[in-house]
Structure 1
Amino acid sequence: MKVLFIPGNSPYPIFSHAPLASAARNAGHQVMMGGIDWVLPNIASVGLPAVQISPVSMEEVSAFMGAMPDNPADQLKAVGRVYAEIAVDSLERLLALADHWRPDVVVGGGMFYTAPLLAHHLGIPSVRLEWDRIDSRTYDPGAEPVLAPVLAELGLDKVPDPDLWLDVCPPSLRPDDAVPAKPMRWVPGNPQKPLEPWMYTKGERPRVYITAGTRLFSGEGLRDMARSIDRLGAEVVVGAPENVAAELRGELPGVHVGWVPLDVLAPTCDVIIHHGGGGTDMTSLNAGVPQLIAHPEYPTAATRQVVDFGAALLVESGGHEEVNAACEQLLNDPSYRERAQSVSKEMAALPPAHEIVADLERLVAARG
């Protein structure tokens, strides 16, 4: 069986799909993963064959992020639009790939526009694998005007539904209006590096990890937050891509700064502070660590759910005093860790990726 994965247009979707892609490959199937030019090194970093579906570069992604509208609703439309544009642009390249390496099934990510269009062209089953707990349907209004002409040419009135929908959201945090889907256990799929003892050991002070995700092009906000949290007497670790980390190390003496395998570090943390990114959220829950979502990039229902559940706090506005106060609350009240650990146990009980490979095999066999 040949399986083509098309997760999404930034590093995190790559990492979220890596466990299932690796499980399919370990089961003896042929696997390729497609991505824009920017993320091809990320695909290779998790040991998967990488194929370019679009020449969009890191510089272009940075320019798009810098021009993002301030209004949250407009932000969602802008992201949906660019995902749809890349889906339309990549279709010709993917069909050319299929002339030489024809997939038997295609697995797409949250903004699922590329995968079902290709599957429809080839007459093969498609699978939708969500990246995290965020409901990616909120991006559809921005995508629909871009996709409409292509769908009309194909005689379709909407993007085809997947043959299999996989959801990694823990049951306690799944919204009431969620689409019926097969649950799958989420596990970290991030790249590794040679470990240093501090990464997997816990010192005497509480440890606070601060990150703004993989789509980060400036370290100013991380620097200021790290200096503020340091006043709490905690051990601070700052996670950032190397291009940002290099500028921060000289400004943050005594702070570990750089790319750290978060699956290794997370269990040693007492609080994880982040921007609302799905990958950090899922890694925190997987490790049973309380979260502080500070000034989220995209306010989402998923953020509100984990806060309402009691496993996180949210600081939408305000400065470092508000962030520090929330961090102290998480450090001093054990109920947040207890709630996070209850979700971690739920996640561990869901069907693992290697069991889902059998579902892919059945889809291909049924299609003949």
Structure 2
Amino acid sequence: MRVLVAAVPHASHLNIIIPYAQALQNAGHEVCLGTAPGGEDAVTAAGLTAVTFGEPTPLSLQNWKKHGLLPDQETRERFADALALTAEERGHWDVFYQYYAFNARFFLQREPRADIDGLIAFGRAWRPDLVLWDAWFPLGGVIAQACGAPHARVLIGPDYSGWAYETFTARGGPSVAAVGENPLTDALRPVAERYGLDVGDDLVLGRFALDPVPPERRLTEDVPVRPVRWITYNGGGVKPAWLHAPPERPRVAVTLGLSVRLWRRGGDPRLPKIIEALADQDVEVVATCTREQLAGIGRLPDNVRAVDYVPLTQLLPTCAAVVHHGSSGAFLSSIAAGVPQLVVHTGESIRMVFSGDGDDISVSNADRDADSWLTAGYVAERGAGEPVDHLTQSAADIRTVIERVLRDPAYRNGAAELQQEWRARPGPADVVPDLEKLSAEQG
């Protein structure tokens, strides 16, 4: 069959969906990976065929504001009140409204655009038998319906869009309608209607979602899902010499992800206490951080090696523990490696605050990842790690937590148990028959 895979053109998204495209290609299917400009090199480096149109749209606050894409905080709060959200639900809503819906609007602008309409035109010309799309790239549903193909989503973490869709369906009423439409369907509607499509369950959710998140943390109740094993794909790389042999001392990785590098400037406030907490310990620290992220720390301790980037597939298997920011990617990759985790999490609400204008516009936000509510709690609950809070804990407090995780074998046992559960889930190759069946049902 012909399969069109569609995704956001950023490594933090492409690296998640590429293993599914490779599994389909390895099963003998013809695969194209459609994305917006900017992701072509990552796709072709993976041995896949890339399809893209138009010119790259700048990923900048200035451009986002120019096109009216920045989240409106007053509207966010009005929706939360009208939907009668609980405190926990408000956390999910904040992530959906400020991150997911914003991302959806970026790739679903109301006026015709070459990168959007080009992918739809390609789908109609190529006529895939199946469309598989990154859940943060809802244009995939439009592409699928425009060319008459069945489609499914690939979740990269908690299903915020599915949760929001269920919530609006269950609680929508006059008070909610007075605020507005679900931001996702509102973003989809102009593009869908341009192609004569209705915005309904199938377009928004697909037939089912491939879900790597532990079922205990699933946000939706009735959205069909297929459990799947997360595959840590980093695009490969030459193994550095210092990774050739096992470390002489316990190795601790410190990673804060890739996405934050797009917008944070002037040093990462989470790092100073973490580095200080690790400085006096008999460990080897590998901090996968840029010079920009390390700004303000000064001279690094002798036991800290800073590298801009090294694939987690190379680094994590050599580690006794990992300190990370709480993203689903770092969390699931650490589970796959069987490594105890220290997850940076604070009690802050996710709130984007914009200031300035023109070239001087800036944004401030909570010093925590959007998914850390899930990851920090889960590793602690399962005995595979502990949360750390750089806002409420001193460097000495964080040092005590790190030492406990390194010395107590119970954490290694907890991490090993999670790894075994991860191995028992079906991998991308194992779900290919489900995808083939979906295509056959449509035919």
Q: Paired residue for 1:310? A: 383
SS at match of 1:185: coil
The verdict on how the C-alpha distance between 1:205 and 1:175 changes in structure 2, with shifts beyond 3 A counting, is farther
Mapped to 2, the partners of 1:59 and 1:175 lie a distance apart of 29
Mapped to 1, the partners of 2:13 and 2:308 lie a distance apart of 20
SS at match of 2:285: strand
Q: Paired residue for 2:103? A: 83
Query: Is 170-179 or 82-91 further displaced after alignment?
Result: 170-179
Q: Paired residue for 1:16? A: 16
Q: Paired residue for 2:229? A: 185
2:253 to 192, 206, 209: 209
Q: Paired residue for 2:199? A: 156
The alpha-carbon deviation at position 80 of structure 1 amounts to 1.9
Mapped to 2, the partners of 1:188 and 1:337 lie a distance apart of 20
Q: Paired residue for 1:104? A: 129
Mapped to 2, the partners of 1:62 and 1:129 lie a distance apart of 30
The verdict on how the C-alpha distance between 1:16 and 1:102 changes in structure 2, with shifts beyond 3 A counting, is same
In structure 2, give the amino acid aligned to 1:108.
Answer: W
Mapped to 2, the partners of 1:198 and 1:69 lie a distance apart of 47
5+ residue gaps, structure 2: 74-89, 110-114, 166-181, 346-367
The alpha-carbon deviation at position 261 of structure 1 amounts to 1.7
Q: Paired residue for 1:147? A: 188
| TM-score, length of structure 1 as denominator length | 0.85
SS at match of 1:37: coil
Q: How large is the RMSD of aligned CA atoms in angstroms?
A: 3.4
1:323 to 377, 380, 398: 398
| TM-score, length of structure 2 as denominator length | 0.72
Mapped to 2, the partners of 1:146 and 1:349 lie a distance apart of 38
Mapped to 2, the partners of 1:245 and 1:16 lie a distance apart of 24
The alpha-carbon deviation at position 226 of structure 1 amounts to 3.2
SS at match of 1:260: coil
Matches within 5 A, 1:1-368: 1-52=1-52, 55-57=55-57, 59-60=59-60, 73-89=93-109, 90-111=115-136, 113-132=138-157, 135=160, 137=162, 142-150=183-191, 154-158=197-201, 159-170=203-214, 177=221, 179-199=223-243, 201-217=245-261, 218=265, 220-221=267-268, 224=272, 225-240=274-289, 252=300, 255-295=305-345, 296-303=368-375, 304-316=377-389, 317-318=391-392, 319-368=394-443
The verdict on how the C-alpha distance between 1:150 and 1:18 changes in structure 2, with shifts beyond 3 A counting, is closer
Query: Is 19-28 or 134-143 further displaced after alignment?
Result: 134-143
Mapped to 1, the partners of 2:237 and 2:204 lie a distance apart of 39
SS at match of 2:52: strand
Contact 1:7 1:35 (8 Å CA) reproduced = yes
The alpha-carbon deviation at position 339 of structure 1 amounts to 1.1
Query: Is 156-165 or 52-61 further displaced after alignment?
Result: 52-61
SS at match of 1:346: helix
Contact 2:254 2:322 (8 Å CA) reproduced = yes
The alpha-carbon deviation at position 272 of structure 1 amounts to 0.9
Percent identical pairs in the alignment equals 28
SS at match of 2:121: helix
Mapped to 1, the partners of 2:286 and 2:278 lie a distance apart of 10
Q: Max radius of gyration: which structure?
A: 2
Contact 1:80 1:142 (8 Å CA) reproduced = no
List structure 1 runs of 4+ shifted beyond 6 angstroms. Answer: 61-65, 67-71, 245-250
Mapped to 2, the partners of 1:98 and 1:205 lie a distance apart of 53
Contact 2:139 2:188 (8 Å CA) reproduced = no
Cα distance per residue 1:212-263 (max 9 Å; x no partner): 111243583376343542222320111246x858989995466141321211
Contact 1:25 1:31 (8 Å CA) reproduced = yes
Contact 1:81 1:142 (8 Å CA) reproduced = yes
5+ residue gaps, structure 1: none
SS at match of 1:258: coil
Cα distance per residue 1:247-284 (max 9 Å; x no partner): 89995466141321211221111111111112111110
